[in-house]
Amino acid sequence: MTAPSRKAPDDAAPDRPEPDGPLTVAAVDLGSNSFHMVIARYVEHDLHIVDRLREPVRLADGLLHGEELSEEVADRAIACLERFGQRLRDLPPEQVRAVG
């Protein structure tokens, strides 16, 4: 399966020259229902998705008294992050962004 190419906005990195070769970057979205990770290569001003993962973690279902996560849900979230980490291991930290 070939991932679609996505054109990077012209203002995505205004003062940053493109590296000599393809740049691999990753984005991680830590949502309350699921965690998502996308890894892409930036080649000649285009993003080409090379890997994508989505795992249901259902953080909101594990809230105890509105403040803490249950141990089961915390373990599920950590296990997911460990799997994401295996895929991200070879990327420099400055090429990975995470939001939650």
Cβ atoms of 18 and 41 closer than 8 Å: no
The whole-number pLDDT of residue 1 equals 45
Domains identified in the chain and CATH numbers? 5-97 (3.30.420.40)
The whole-number pLDDT of residue 14 equals 41
d(C-alpha 44, C-alpha 36), whole Å: 25
The whole-number pLDDT of residue 22 equals 85
Helices and strands in the chain: count of H runs, count of E runs: 1, 7
Residue-level pLDDT, tens digit, the chain, 100 residues:
445 555 554 544 444 445 567 899 999 999 989 999 999 999 888 999 999 999 999 988 877 676 788 888 899 999 999 999 999 999 999 999 999 9
Q: Which two tokens stand for residue 32?
A: 């309350």
Classify strands 46-56 and 34-43 as parallel, antiparallel or unpaired: antiparallel
The whole-number pLDDT of residue 39 equals 97
Bridge-partner residues for 26, per DSSP? 39, 96
Q: What is the pTM of this model?
A: 0.73
* H or E segment and range at residue 78: helix 71-88
